[in-house]
């Protein structure tokens, strides 16, 4: 097995998230970081996108992930993203970090979650 990791770092998305209704009224800027572990053996041999995780497809999925949805907690959001990526893109493992910019005195607040097949 030729195991490796694909990282998408600080993908900017706009989702409705927050405990108070007022906070969820408008989408807010979040940064998503994903790490997806996969077996690269077939991709190394074939040099074909069909044999690996298409990170462009993952980013496009995540950019639209918040449409028509909202979450109170970024913990729930991170879990939903991890479960979706695992189901749709089939990495061996996925870790998701969601960064939120709600506390002015802090650079960001983040939650991380990991899932595996």
Q: What is the DSSP letter of 68?
A: T
> Over 80: is that where the pLDDT of 44 sits?
yes
Average pLDDT, the chain: 96
Nearest to 71 by CA among 11, 17, 9, 22: 17
Return the pLDDT at 2. 78
pTM score? 0.95
Encode pLDDT of 80-94 as tens digits.
999 999 999 999 999
Residue 100 annotated as catalytic: yes
Report phi then psi at 106, rounded to 5.
-115, 145
32 within 8 A of 96, measured Cβ to Cβ? yes
What's the mean pLDDT in 46-57?
A: 97
CB contact set of 64 (below 8 Å; sequence gap of 6+): none
Domains of the chain, first to last: 3-116 (3.30.1130.10)
Catalytic residue among 5, 90, 99, 100: 100
């Amino acid at each position: 097995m030729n195991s490796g990791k694909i990282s998408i770092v600080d993908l900017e998305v706009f989702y409705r998230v927050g405990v108070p209704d007022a906070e969820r009224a408008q989408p807010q800027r979040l940064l998503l970081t994903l790490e997806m572990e996969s077996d690269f053996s077939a991709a190394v041999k074939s040099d074909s996108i069909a044999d690996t995780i298409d990170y462009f497809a993952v980013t496009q999925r995540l950019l639209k992930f918040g449409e028509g949805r909202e979450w109170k907690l970024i913990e729930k959001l991170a879990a939903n993203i991890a479960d979706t990526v695992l189901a749709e893109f089939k990495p061996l493992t996925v870790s998701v970090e969601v960064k939120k910019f709600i506390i002015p005195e802090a650079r960001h607040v983040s939650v991380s979650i990991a899932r595996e097949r």
